[in-house]
Structure 1
Amino acid sequence: MARFVRKGHQAEANSHVPLPIRDGVAPSYLWITEDRPGGMLRFLEERFSEIAGPSWLDRLARGDVVDAKGEVLGPDSHVRQGMRIWYYRELDEETPIPFEEAILFQDEHLLVVDKPHFVPMIPTGRFLRETLLVRLKRKLELPHLTPIHRLDRETAGVVIFSHNLATRGTYQSMFQKRSIRKVYEALAPMLAGHAFPFTYRSRMVDGDKFFVMKEEAGEPNSETRVELIEQRGALAHYRLHPHTGRKHQLRLHMASLGVPILNDAFYPVALPCKGDDFSAPLQLLARRIGFDDPLTGAARSFESRRVLHWPGV
């Protein structure tokens, strides 16, 4: 099989994109790093073996596969080392996600969104048009929109996008410098034996399964401050302050404390995929994000309007 370097859905960051954004979906591209005989159709069928041949034949016939100059490629077009080919990712079927995002703020630089549970941030796997990025591009016609941080698909709440290429790096640097003030809330079993608030630290590393994290002995690289907001019987409402931003940090920390967040299908044990079951959202909410604007110095704070749901309420 030919070697290649694939790039995903960040085409808008490149100086020249030969295909336009279509229905909110930015084109993807890949680099070819060796010559291949047999033509473009054969290459695409072998590279994307999970996609039926007629699908690629249809795309080629529609002119939806082009080279870096925008020239339409056909089934017999040569596959040469150094080519960059552009195409649209397509899914035959995609289940609608019946929850809507809300716009909290927009200016000439940023878009701040209140994300619902179950909606992925960006196209991946079996999600394309039902992702937050594609939804927003389609609705708002912002071709340069990209998230400057991420939330898990299962997590709801405040997330910030950039739609201005000139200032994107400046705002992204806030997260790299950890100058963002993030506050989350969660519902989980009541944690006994701790005086609140307290700080939990651990060393987090990639887990045995690619989609989860785990803890190991060693120098801590993650830190969360845990506060108690309210207790109702055996359950509690927590406020969580992540001082680091590790993948699944809050979910793993709460599970490691013995109080996994309600409806967490990954921690402490990864459960079988529930597919398109929307009945039990993870009770984790990105409640608030605050920062000093790097362009103006003004203090900014954005808060989710969503609520967590106690069982039986």
Structure 2
Amino acid sequence: MARAPLPVRDGLGPTRIRMPDDPSPVTVLQYLISRFPQDERRLREKVALGEVVDAGGTPISLDSVVRPRADIYLYRDPPDEPVVPFPMEILHRDENLLVVDKPHFLATTPRGAYVARSALVVLRRELDLPDLSPAHRLDRLTAGVLVFTIRPEVRRAYQELFAARTVTKIYDAIARHDPNLTVPLVIKSRMVKERGVLRAEEVPGEPNAETRVEVAAVHDGWARYTLTPKTGRTHQLRLHMSSLGVPIVGDNFYPTFYEVAHDDYSRPLALLARELSFDDPFTGERCVFATRRTLDFPS
């Protein structure tokens, strides 16, 4: 994808909007208003201020006509978001990498209702790192080790480590102890998650998700499980634990979905990205990063 013609501003990059395929006599502004009628006033203001541009960085005027499949860029107004009341500690920083200890409830990247308060935007803004980019992602409800790249020229090399599954990831999870489970065990299944559907599901077919499950400690009917995923499917660990009959404490998706208010922090998902390790693609040195967070057994 071509580099956006507008720089990162307040930690947020511009939004890209693709114009329709067919020729249209309407102006770009008219098309944007038809897409986002609730934002008409702000869209008119942004066009008047020259803040809506084409792929070459030329500001769109009030009379600019839609060109088929052209890309238009503008800054979106961040929603009114609650502040996640938990700290995000820096575990490591060098010229290429920034590694943080992400708290529960904090989104990795801007998405949906979590934009300005996502980890990426907060770090870009607070550390003045406009080119910061995630090397991988953690679910909003999962805490622990999260790796970002600082310089664009090294981004691909680190992201490819995760894509090639050469990164070792170890998670902790708290769930009911089932003495009938023979551990350690490896669970393999085929998982699918449709776009726009909240939950993933397991279906018949060739496995595409694999997790090693071990029990690290047992206390009063609960167990601390060590989970080592070989793959990185969305909600893989949560769904695999649920399919074993021991859903993770605080999981409101599996086995049954139930609503939780966005500002309810009383029962975090007991899933923690405890350790992440890989061979650095530039130095060849072994990098090991570990969280300073812990998971407590339910009282």
Same fold? TM cut 0.5: yes
Amino acid at match of 1:30: I
Aligned position for 1:162: 149
Shift of 1:58: 2.2
Deviates more, 1:235-244 or 1:271-280: 271-280
Amino acid at match of 1:229: A
* Structure 1 residues 165 and 91, CA gap change in structure 2 (3 angstroms): closer
Matches within 5 A, 1:24-39: 24-32=11-19, 33-39=21-27
Specify the SS of the correspondent of 2:146: strand
| Runs of 4+ residues deviating >6 angstroms | none
* Structure 1 residues 277 and 75, CA gap change in structure 2 (3 angstroms): farther
Matches within 5 A, 1:114-125: 114-125=101-112
Aligned position for 1:220: 207
CA contact (8 A) 1:145 1:163 kept: yes
* Structure 1 residues 309 and 209, CA gap change in structure 2 (3 angstroms): farther
User: Could you report, residue by residue, the CA deviation over 1:134-174 in whole angstroms, capped at 9, with x for unpaired residues?
Assistant: 11110122222111111101000001111222222221221
User: Could you report, residue by residue, the CA deviation over 1:183-231 in whole angstroms, capped at 9, with x for unpaired residues?
Assistant: 0001110022123222122221226971211112233221111111111
Aligned position for 1:232: 219
* Pairing partner for 1:107 from 87, 94, 113: 94
1:43 maps onto 2:31 in alignment: yes
Aligned position for 1:80: 67
| CA distance, structure 1, for counterparts of residue 39 and residue 131 of structure 2 | 31
* Structure 1 residues 78 and 114, CA gap change in structure 2 (3 angstroms): same
User: Could you report, residue by residue, the CA deviation over 1:48-97 in whole angstroms, capped at 9, with x for unpaired residues?
Assistant: 24x33112122223332122332322333222225321101213422222
Aligned position for 1:242: 229
Structure 2 unmatched runs, 5+: none
Q: Percent identity?
A: 44
CA contact (8 A) 1:19 1:86 kept: yes
| CA distance, structure 1, for counterparts of residue 147 and residue 134 of structure 2 | 6
Aligned position for 1:254: 241
| CA distance, structure 2, for counterparts of residue 208 and residue 42 of structure 1 | 28
Specify the SS of the correspondent of 1:310: coil
* Structure 1 residues 93 and 74, CA gap change in structure 2 (3 angstroms): farther
* Structure 1 residues 257 and 209, CA gap change in structure 2 (3 angstroms): farther
Structure 1 unmatched runs, 5+: 1-12
| CA distance, structure 1, for counterparts of residue 270 and residue 110 of structure 2 | 23
Aligned position for 1:141: 128
Amino acid at match of 2:63: D
Aligned position for 1:8: none
Specify the SS of the correspondent of 1:117: coil
Specify the SS of the correspondent of 1:171: helix
RMSD: 1.9
Amino acid at match of 2:15: S
| CA distance, structure 1, for counterparts of residue 138 and residue 112 of structure 2 | 16
Aligned position for 1:55: 42
Deviates more, 1:203-212 or 1:263-272: 203-212
Specify the SS of the correspondent of 1:297: coil
Amino acid at match of 1:185: D
Aligned position for 1:305: 292
Amino acid at match of 2:53: V
| Length-normalised TM-score, structure 1 | 0.89
| CA distance, structure 2, for counterparts of residue 246 and residue 208 of structure 1 | 13
